Amino acid sequence: MAQIIDGRAMARALSDETAARVAAMVADSGQPPALAVVLVGDDPASQVYVRRKISECARVGIRSVEHRLPVDHPQDALLTLIDLLNSDPAIHGILIQLPLPPHIDAALVLDRIDPAKDVDGFHPVNVGRLSTGTGGLVPCTPLGIMRLLDSVIDDYRGLNAVVIGKSNIVGKPVAMLLLEREATVTVTHIETLHLPDIARKADIIVAAAGAPHLVRGYWVKPGAIVIDVGINRIAQADGSSQIVGDCATQELDHARAVTPVPGGVGPMTIACLLHNTVLAAERART
């Protein structure tokens, strides 16, 4: 049987560390780290994610400031809000929940965030820092994936890593982090030809294509480590829905280790957001 990497337990341990750092900051300065969370519109999945992020902030002692804006909120007004948050010394992190409504240019909005407060790591300055290995804030899901991998891998040198998915949020940044550890990285996506053959050569598979049960047992070589980033909602015959990942996990007994969905990458993403917020606050005070 493959080892199941327990993302919930690892997220709890990381959040406990973060809570201790928050307590130290409060003892030192009397002020907790603060995260501004901006949600435009009423996308149901985004509402769930934002609620979860805010409740986790409270659990570790981070102050969160929520800005819920209507779906037709003008772009200019959103940019003005970001300017205000950028210049507010009591705000250490700014998170703009994606996706944004179609009338808003997401790239323009993300570019407006002060890179030092960009706890999502999406600003071009932080993307550039990641690609040159020069610090900055690292996107939360890739950061969480590396912590999950670090629990089963000591040395990445000589390992083949195949990333499935080329998004700015997961695929591209996790490829950079794996390269930094000197793995040999292949970035693939849903249009890649002979994807099962490429995946079968991998020691590490990171599946982030957003395609339910894409990665089948025969795609995975014995002993490989599989990180499942997918969160796909599948309608059931009885009208309910079920969340499944990008991997057919029940076919992966021959893997060395796999992450479950739910309970793998998801909890680590939020724990890493809290970690990034405290990091941004600590850096702002030094």
**Binding-site annotation, residues for NADP(+):** 165-167, 190, 231
Catalytic residue among 53, 117, 118, 172: 53
**CA-closest candidate to residue 276, choices 5, 21, 23:** 21
Within a 10 A sphere around the Cβ of 252, how many other Cβ atoms?
22
Q: Tell me if 281 contacts ligand GUN by CB under 6 A.
A: no
Residue with tokens 């490829």: 175
- Whether 97 is catalytic is yes
* Residues of the binding site: 165-167, 190, 231
Give the closest residue to 250 by CA, choosing from 216, 221, 206, 276: 216
Question: By beta-carbon distance, which residue lies closest to ligand GUN?
Answer: 98
Query: Among 120, 203, 228, 246, which one carries the catalytic annotation?
Result: 120
Q: Which position has the token pair 């010394």?
A: 89
Any catalytic annotation for residue 120?
yes
In the complex, minimum distance from the CB of residue 149 to ligand GUN, in angstroms, rounded to a whole number: 18
Closest CA to 96 of 113, 73, 76: 113
Residue 195 within binding range of ligand GUN, rule CB under 6 A: no
> What binding mask, one character per residue, do residues 9-38 give for ligand GUN by CB under 6 A, x or -?
------------------------------
Q: CA-CA distance, 162 to 264, in Å (whole number)?
A: 18
Structure token digits, residue 228: 């499942």
- Report in angstroms the alpha-carbon separations of 1 from 70, 213, 263: 48, 19, 18
By CB under 6 A, what part of segment 123-162 binds ligand GUN? 140-141
Is residue 188 within the footprint of ligand GUN (CB under 6 A)? Answer: no
Q: Is 120 in the site for ligand GUN (CB under 6 A)?
A: yes
CB of residue 169 to ligand GUN, shortest distance in Å: 5
- CA-nearest of 142, 140, 112, 144 to 125 is 112
Which of residues 169, 208, 215, 280 is near ligand GUN by CB under 6 A? 169
Distance of alpha carbon 92 from the chain centroid: 19
Q: How many residues bind ligand GUN (CB under 6 A)?
A: 8
- Distance in angstroms (rounded) separating the CA atoms of residues 131 and 172: 9
Q: Which of 14, 34, 35, 96 binds ligand GUN (CB under 6 A)?
A: 96
Active site residue 172: no
Catalytic pick from 72, 75, 88, 97? 97
Nearer to ligand GUN, 34 or 248 (CB): 34
Q: How far is the CB of 32 from ligand GUN (least distance, A)?
A: 21
- Contacting ligand GUN (CB under 6 A), which of 85, 91, 95, 272? 95
The candidate with the shortest Cα–Cα distance to 171, out of 202, 200, 208, 201, is 208
Rounded to an integer, what distance in angstroms lies between the CA atom of residue 66 and that of residue 121? 19
Buried b (16+ CB within 10 A) or exposed e, 259-274: bbbebbbbbbbbbbbb
The C-alpha atoms of residue 151 and residue 208 are separated, in whole angstroms, by 20
Nearer to ligand GUN, 33 or 266 (CB): 266
Catalytically active residues, by annotation: 53, 97, 120
Residues lying near ligand GUN in the complex (CB under 6 A) are found at 95-98, 120, 140-141, 169
